[in-house]
Amino acid sequence: MKYENIRQQVLDAILDAVDLGLIHGTSGNIAVRDPEEPVVAITPSGIPYKTMNLEQIAIVDLKTGKWMDGKYKPSSEVPMHLACMRARKDVTATVHTHGMFATIAAMEKFGELKAITPPQAEFVPVGIVPFTMPGSDEVADRVVKALGEKGRAVLIKNHGMFCCGKDIKAAMAATIYTEEMAQTNYYARLADVFEPMPQEAVDAMQALIAADQAV
């Protein structure tokens, strides 16, 4: 099968995301860029993930977004995934979820997300995008702007979260730990014991990660 490697990565990741409770029903989508050709494998639109197979993963053209292969049409969020990959040469995988705590944290009154544990520190600051119609070029533009040159996660108000990484493992880590950060921030604030990591500790963790990646 064509593009089997990237199709398999998308399928494995979406099943993991379902198991982890990050994705329910047919909401959320995952994309992986081919290492050689300008094509992207992405979850199809409106198909339950639990029984999905490789043929059902859609293949789209990175530059035009055109549907090239796959039994079902690609996710309606193709513009957001492709815009991120076009803007960021370091990104080869993207994950969009409607996780409960990220969705709560995307509301204005929640306040900025803060790292509470060291693994969360890699993903701050987390930007917020105001509500924009799902699947539109406008939401794609806003997400890309909010991510900037180095961002790994953004919250989308009244919608969910979008994360990216150098590979699918990194994009999934951003999704898992940003959702966890939103959850720990929520409960710590609710219990009135909110004490995020000091900024110096966050900076030190980020310096460690950068040094590790440079090796």
Do residues 43 and 10 touch, judged by C-beta distance below 8 A? yes
- Strand 39-42, strand 58-61: pairing: antiparallel
The H-assigned helical ranges of 88-159 are 100-105, 118-121, 137-147
H or E element that contains 206: helix 199-214
Question: Known catalytic residues?
Answer: 77
Q: At what angle do helices 78-87 and 137-147 cross, to 10 degrees?
A: 40
CA distance 159 to 78: 16
Secondary structure (3-state) at 46:
coil
Strand spans (E) along 43-89: 58-61, 67-69
* CA contacts within 13 A on the Cβ side of 183: 12
CA distance 201 to 188: 19
